[in-house]
Amino acid sequence: MKTRFLGRSGLAVSEIGLGCMGLSHAYGPATDRRAAIGLIRNAVDRGVTFFDTAEIYGPFANEEIIGEALEPVRDRVVIATKFGFDTTSPDTRDQLNSRPEHIRAVTEASLKRLRTDVIGLFYQHRVDPQVPIEDVAGTVGDLIAEGKVRHFGLSEAGANTIRRAHAVQPVAALQSEYSLWWREPEQEILLTVEELGIGFVPFSPLGRGFLTGTIDENTTFDSNDFRNKVPRFAAEARKRNQVLVDRLGVIADRKGATRAQIAIAWLLAQKPWIVPIPGTTKLQRLEENLGAAVVELSAADLSEIADALRGITIAGARYSEELLRRVGR
């Protein structure tokens, strides 16, 4: 596994990370704790050094699993976690809270759950319109000065917010959705982070599983699965979006790869400071995803993919209207 630097921050991580959310959050029942720890340690054995979590995943359980799994190899890995939701009670967990005192409280709690004395990368999970981003950046800057955090990140922030935050405390990485079926970051965000020397961490690089080719219009999800509320995963949308998966399959077959590997390799080919974080609960899928690192897409391959994308219109929004109001601020 090769190493990439997230922008000009000096933060070096494996070129493919592991998104750990799905082990305990959003996609149905949580994975058995021992199995989840085993998967994370298998990722380490395969060269992964970048692990993504958040206090809200579970909530709290995800950080606890990662803390236990990575404690023996803590000096070899970078853990990214997030603040920004009000986790003080079950009734407030959908509410944003990036007040400085809350950020500090989250920091102390996350450090304990992660079994570490420093957070490698600390993202604001969603921009809080009630708290100036300068106050957020300043608070994280103070935590960095105190040695409790190494790098500051933002998630799903808009270009203006990124610039304002970066002027107060350098932003090491922006995490946002980006994949073959969600390319909105190409309009402004990628240009902004490149200009400022900020790394980019695409989450859902496999389109929440759709780009793997294992989901079709007849697939049913667990009653607690987040995708049941996503317009892009309505049965009719899945039927219409199958054309993208089919085109990926043609390219994958020719390259001797899988659809998932082509999707991840495409992201790696976009910029050298892009580090995708596919998630999975299965060892077989982990091995498959990491195999994308050795898939080389030629200029002709990338041109073919670009031509295919121009002829395809993806059906369905990526979030519900309520969740869409929280992104791009």
Give the model's confidence band at 22: pLDDT under 50 very low, under 70 low, under 90 confident, else very high: very high
Model confidence at 217, in pLDDT bands (50, 70, 90)?
A: very high
Inter-residue contact 180 to 207 (CB < 8 Å): yes
% of the chain residues with pLDDT over 70: 100
CA–CA separation, 107 vs 149, rounded Å? Answer: 8
Q: Which of 27, 57, 123, 178 is catalytic?
A: 57
Q: What's the count of helices (H) and strands (E) in the chain, helices before strands? A: 11, 9
pTM: predicted TM-score of the whole model, two decimal places: 0.98
- Say whether 57 is catalytic: yes
Distance CA 66, CA 74 (A): 10
Q: Residue 122 gets which letter from DSSP?
A: E
DSSP string spanning 135-175?
HHHHHHHHHHHTTSEEEEEEES--HHHHHHHHHHS-EEEEE
- Evaluate whether 221 touches 28 at the Cβ level (below 8 Å): yes
CB-CB contact of 287 with 258 (8 Å): no
Q: Taking the mean position of all CA atoms in its chain, how far away is CA 146?
A: 27
In order of start, what are the domains of the chain with their CATH numbers?
Answer: 3-324 (3.20.20.100)
Tens-place pLDDT, residues 268-287: 999 999 999 999 999 999 99
Backbone angles phi, psi at 75, to 5 degrees: -80, -5
Given a contact cutoff of 8 angstroms between Cβ atoms, the answer to whether 316 and 230 are in contact is yes
CA distance 187 to 295: 26
